[in-house]
Amino acid sequence: MPYARVNGINIYYETHGEGYPLVLIGGLGSQIQSWATQISLYSRYFKVIVFDNRGAGKTDKPDVPYTIELMADDTVGLLDFLGIDSAYVAGKSMGGMIAQWLAIKYPDRIRKLVLACTSASRDEVGNEILRIGREVATRMGMKYVWLIALFWGYTREYIERNLGSIREALAMVDDSPESIRGYIRQSLACEKHDTRELVTRIKCPTLVMIGNRDLIVSPKRSIELAELIPNSRLEVFDGVGHGFWRERQEEVDRVVLDFLLGV
């Protein structure tokens, strides 16, 4: 299995396809598998780089404080390891926070930016959800964290249509102490995220996407993000929440590809 030694940790990564590099950055606690559909589609057009963030999946989970900026440094370290000078970057939720820091701190490395179901700052409702997630992880384990996140993030109609595959996915959730520790460390990093005074520096073409029924990240905060980034484009998907990329998969992927492949 491919690993890169970056910032003192081993990062698990995969590359798929050929062409200009596209980095996909996952959300809180997620793994490469969360991008499975996008990998198969986007690798027709790009060299897709996917990886597990520190604290998740097959990547190391050190028991030290994490920050979103540190995870952006991890990502650039992976690009350096792979010999990639610049790339397109797409991040969802926490991955969108990491992507913001990439564009802020390493502007010459990022050509286009896609930020989905994310924000430049947190509100108290969103942070209370994070705190509940940490409490559930500690007391009950990661399976219950993902079960709760499912009901917060998706419509009932989606859950009903996909209940069988959802049960299969829940059965595979890693409930190890290391996984719980990594999730908590990531969650604490998310709670402290605030780039409102920094994202105004972002100069690359940027697409901000939101679901207007998002309970986990306030749509108002996502709109704020789009307003703060110069010349960014805002795309709103009606009737769906935090998991809109999965619920409206074909529609969202078409918007993303049009943005990335456009001049």
* Percent of the chain predicted with pLDDT > 90: 94
DSSP output for 238-251: TT--TTHHHHTHHH
What CATH number belongs to 3-261? Answer: 3.40.50.1820
Give tens-digit pLDDT for 164-197.
988 988 888 999 999 999 999 999 999 999 999 9
How would you list the strands of the sheet with 206-211, edge to edge? 3-6, 9-16, 47-51, 21-25, 87-92, 110-116, 206-211, 233-237
> How do 3-6 and 9-16 pair as beta strands?
antiparallel
What is the rounded CA–CA span in Å between residue 189 and residue 255? 29
Q: How far is CA 222 from the centre of its chain?
A: 14
Mean pLDDT of the chain: 96
Mean pLDDT of 208-225: 96
Q: What is the pLDDT of residues 8-64, one digit of tens each?
A: 999 999 999 999 999 999 999 999 999 999 999 999 999 999 999 999 999 999 999
The helix or strand, by DSSP H or E, that contains position 147, with its residue range, turns out to be helix 142-153
Cα 211 to Cα 208: distance, rounded to the nearest angstrom: 11
38: enclosing H helix or E strand: helix 36-42
Q: Kind and range of the H or E element at 190?
A: helix 177-191
pLDDT score for 81 = 98
Average of per-residue pLDDT across 255-259: 98
Give residue for tokens 């930020």.
Answer: 115
Q: Which pLDDT belongs to residue 263?
A: 66
> CB count, 10 Å around CB of 242?
25
pLDDT at 4: 98
Average pLDDT for 242-246: 96
106-132 pLDDT, tens digit per residue, is: 999 999 999 999 999 999 999 999 999
Can you tell me the distance from the alpha carbon of 50 to that of 21, in angstroms, rounded to the nearest whole number? 11
pLDDT at 170: 87
User: Domain limits of the chain?
Assistant: 3-261
